[in-house]
Amino acid sequence: MSNGAILVLAGPSGAGKSTIINEASSEIGEFYFSVSTTTRAPREGEIDGVHYNFVSKEEFEQDIKEGNFLEYATVHGNYYGTSLKPVIKALNEGKLVIFDIDVQGHRLVRDAMGDVVVSAFITPPTLKELETRLKNRCSDSPEVIKQRLKNAKEEIQAISEFDFVIINDDVQKATAEFISIAKAARNKIGLQKRKELIRKWLEE
């Protein structure tokens, strides 16, 4: 895990996280975007490893026993969860692992992965702007938009838990900030490396 890094992104739905990642993808080096693992069958057009990691119920339950999930839940009779196996594999390959999760997920990743984690909260400048964006994308009902705005009000309370905040008022500016943060994540020295450095200094 020594060569890889973890970058956790959080923020309200409609903040532009996916757009920023897509815009920055050619500038941040090789990365793995963490996707959920599920036991449900792929829907038409879904690609294994892109939309979800599709596995059997037996494989999922074996991984639960072995402690390979950051978190998991059962929804409509199928398992869904965040598997640590592809994350650790990507870290060992020296990749930047990007999570797009909620505030609670950020806390779980911090607890599980420790000091190799860098985090950024991405948000529109105001709640009103978020509401405008959610309405303009025409993909959610008024009830869903109302719930998303309620969730956003709660999530913004946890902003101080993050290393960086990106105010997405201008996509190009927000993308440039994201690229800087991704590079900082790659250069962050974990506690173990720091201890090794101290030991080498003191040995000479």
Q: Per-residue pLDDT for the chain (204 aa), expressed as one digit of tens each?
A: 446 889 999 999 889 998 999 999 999 999 999 999 999 999 889 999 888 999 999 999 999 999 999 888 888 889 999 999 888 899 889 899 999 888 888 998 888 887 789 999 999 999 999 999 999 887 778 898 999 899 999 999 999 999 999 999 999 999 999 999 999 998 887 667 777 878 888 886
The structure tokens listed for 17 are 């996280």
pLDDT attached to residue 105: 86
Q: What are phi and psi of 33, to 5 degrees?
A: -90, 115
> Quick one: CA dihedral 14, 19, 24, 30, positive or negative?
positive
Contact 1, 91 (CB under 8 A): yes
What tokens were used for 192?
Answer: 């173990």
Q: In whole angstroms, what is the distance from residue 45 CA to residue 177 CA? A: 33
Give the β-pairing of 78-83 and 69-75: antiparallel
Question: How far lies 198's CA from each of 5, 185, 187, 193, 203, in Å?
Answer: 21, 21, 18, 9, 9
What share of residues in the chain are helix, strand, coil (percent, to 5)?
Answer: 50, 20, 30
**What is the model's pTM?**
0.81
User: Rounded to an integer, what distance in angstroms lies between the CA atom of residue 155 and that of residue 148?
Assistant: 10
**pLDDT reported for residue 24:** 96
User: Residue 194: enclosing H or E segment and its boundaries?
Assistant: helix 191-203
Q: What is the pLDDT of residue 1?
A: 41
Round to whole Å and give the CA distance between 28 and 184.
10
pLDDT at 188: 82
DSSP H or E segment with residue 179: helix 171-187
Query: Given the structure tokens 């030991």, which residue do they identify?
Result: 199
What are the structural domains, with CATH classification, of the chain? 1-30+95-204 (3.40.50.300), 35-93 (3.30.63.10)
**Residue 204, pLDDT score:** 64
- The CA-based angle 14-106-154, given to 5 degrees, is 55
